[in-house]
Amino acid sequence: MHPNQRAGLHQQQRVRRYAADSDSYAFFNLLTGPQLLGQVESLLPEHRERLFPPTETLSMFLAQALSADRSCQQAVDDAAIKRLMGALPLCSTHTGAYCRARQRLPLEMVATLARHTGYVMAECTPQTWHWRGRAVRLVDGATVALPDTPENQELYPQPGSQQPGLGFPLCRLVGIICLASGAVLNAAMGPCQGKGSDEQSLLRSILDTLADGDILLGDAFYATYFLLCALRERGVDGVFEQQGSRRRSTDFRRGERLGARDHVIELRKPKLKPAWMSQVEYDRAPQALKVRELHTGGKILMTTLLCPKQTPKAALKALYQERWHVELDLRNIKTTLGMERLSCLTPAMAEKEIWVYLLAYNLIRLLMAQAALLADILPRQLSFKHTLQLWIAWRQNGAGRYDESQLATLFILIAQQRVGNRPGRIEPRAMKQRPKPFPLLTKQRQIAREEVRKNGHPKKIK
């Protein structure tokens, strides 16, 4: 037998043995366990019996987020076929009733479920998955495009560099993600323009997500004095790349020397109060803050982890390399799940759609965490897209009513595909495949249509 086949067989036996010895599936049971069901029931609005009650509507909404065809028509058609196969009364394939049911679905219900699922996953994370015994939270921001409607443009205006009618409304999203399990713990969203629309402001609105003893890991955008003070007030440490403006003035001969290009310095409170900050908050901020600066891996890091014995320079370098996972997580949410461009036509429904995507992402991460736990590996070693494909196939083939043997086999299949360990990977931000030679739309669509009606399509596309 080939060594790879032998290793795979050994892993399958370990998963089956672990599953047989376990009283329950610690992560997977969150989907149907009393803790999550109790949370769902407490959030259900008062409703009468309809064709699409809130739980059924949420289930269909989630199926849309996990499907390649995310249209409402596909969701309704799928529900109609399921009713047909289950010998239930037939329903209309028109989408009106389902769309109205989605509008009645409370936003707070979906958002709370997404946050609660991520929170419980983080609480159930084994200690061995943490970094040096401490929970690490990743932070980063992204933007998503909304349909070009007057309501969306009013709340989420398009970039000022684009002419009216040619761009799309943009929503900025900042998320806090668990490094160990990959679960989204919380998120904040807002426009990309105006006061309070920057990533720092959105992050400050969800800082209560962090707990005493956590470590927040982010890029250079977050290495600011007042954010570090807010983290220290909560008992949270931060590890960030140093901002470019400060990097030029760094002098490792100053401060308390800890090693080669590694020192502790004292930052002074900025004399000017930021526009977003109240005078009371500014006066409450400490006059000085000790931080550690170190040069490693071609970067200068800034952190509140001051002790070189407890957190050596090499350990901080390895930790910061893990920050790349948040980029991959956002790619999975936006590209793999398809959240890059939303489909809902109003801001309220668009926000609800974002939370449905985050809930769907967390449920896939939940499957990966369970498979990793049973296979005795880390969730980050498993493929998100592979797990998503297996789950879609599992649901499409009527495996919703599972037994423990089938479920163990599903986790074996999830654990079979590993992602490559490629430290320091660098890829060009360029596309090899050339797009079709259609010109950009540089005028409003209505005007362009009239020109085509009058003059026809151009003979040659330049």
Helices 72-85 and 54-66, axial angle in degrees (round to 10): 120
Q: Once rounded to an integer, what is the mean pLDDT over residues 242-247?
A: 74
Going by C-alpha positions, the residue among 244, 250, 216 that lies closest to residue 232 is 216
Q: Which two tokens stand for residue 203?
A: 């992050």
Q: What is the per-residue pLDDT across 15-61, written as a single tens digit (0 to 9) for each?
A: 444 444 433 344 444 444 545 545 555 666 665 566 788 878 888 88
Average pLDDT over residues 385-394: 90
pLDDT in tens, 328-384: 999 999 999 999 999 999 999 999 999 999 999 999 999 999 899 888 899 999 999
- Taking the complete model, does pTM exceed 0.95, yes or no? no
pLDDT (tens digit per residue) in 285-318: 999 999 999 999 889 999 999 999 999 999 999 9
CA 257 vs CA 293, 299, 300, 308, 310: distances in Å: 10, 18, 15, 10, 16
Can you give the pLDDT at residue 257?
93
Phi, psi of 225 (to 5 degrees): -60, -50
Residues in the chain: 462
Contact 207, 189 (CB under 8 A): no
User: In b/e form, how buried is each residue of 198-216, taking b as 16+ CB within 10 angstroms?
Assistant: bbbbbbbebbebbeeebbb
50-101 pLDDT, tens digit per residue, is 678 887 888 888 888 888 888 899 888 988 888 888 777 888 889 999 999 8
pLDDT at 123: 87
pLDDT at 235: 96
Digit-coded pLDDT (tens) for 405-439:
777 888 889 999 888 776 666 778 788 887 777 88
* % the chain with pLDDT above 90: 50
